[in-house]
Amino acid sequence: MNLLKNDLDLFSDSVYCFTPTGEVKNLPAGSTPIDFAYSIHSAVGNKMVGARVNGKLVTIDYKINNGDRIEIITSQNSKGPSRDWLNVVKSTQAKNKINQWFKNELKEDNILKGKELLSTYCKARGVNLANLQKQEYMDAIMRKYGFRDWDSVLAAMGHGALKEGQIVNKMQELY
């Protein structure tokens, strides 16, 4: 095992770790148990409540080392990932899967947040939002950003994929 650890240290931009069944996982250096969980499957990451590394409980921000054997603890009662996890994970794959969960699970909340952001932005700049919310302007925005409906535009603003300033500026150009 020591020889294997030394050999693996040659690849410093990656860490090689093991599942409980001995399967090797290649993750970016600095990865955490959350990255590992999402490398197994999005359902494992979304239901993760803890992790054991080499048989010991670790915090979710533990940095995985070469040769670590990682076991993810899941729960059906898990409410899903935390937004804080986005500051902890290293891999793009984990970030994308966490963002996807928030996008899907919290769509209604994101729509409301998007409406609020749009309204607040317009009020702060003295813009009459009612003048801009004409169907032809909304259709142009949906085409530009590739959305099927206005709620999807609002949801994208709500979870941070679109900035309200982008939308208002484009609508003002059309006005």
- Give the pLDDT confidence score for residue 1 in this predicted structure: 52
- Give the pLDDT confidence score for residue 13 in this predicted structure: 92
User: CA–CA separation, 105 vs 125, rounded Å?
Assistant: 32
pLDDT tens figures, 9-26: 555 799 999 999 999 999
Identity at 131, one-letter amino acid code:
N
Q: Which of 88, 94, 57, 90 is nearest to 72 (CA)?
A: 57
User: CA–CA separation, 164 vs 118, rounded Å?
Assistant: 6
Domain chopping of the chain, boundaries: 2-105, 107-174
- Give the pLDDT confidence score for residue 9 in this predicted structure: 54
Residues of the chain with pLDDT under 50: none
- Give the pLDDT confidence score for residue 121 in this predicted structure: 96
CATH number of 2-105: 3.10.20.30
Identity at 41, one-letter amino acid code:
H
Q: Which residue do the tokens 């599942």 mark?
A: 19
Q: How many residues does the chain have?
A: 175
- Give the pLDDT confidence score for residue 48 in this predicted structure: 98
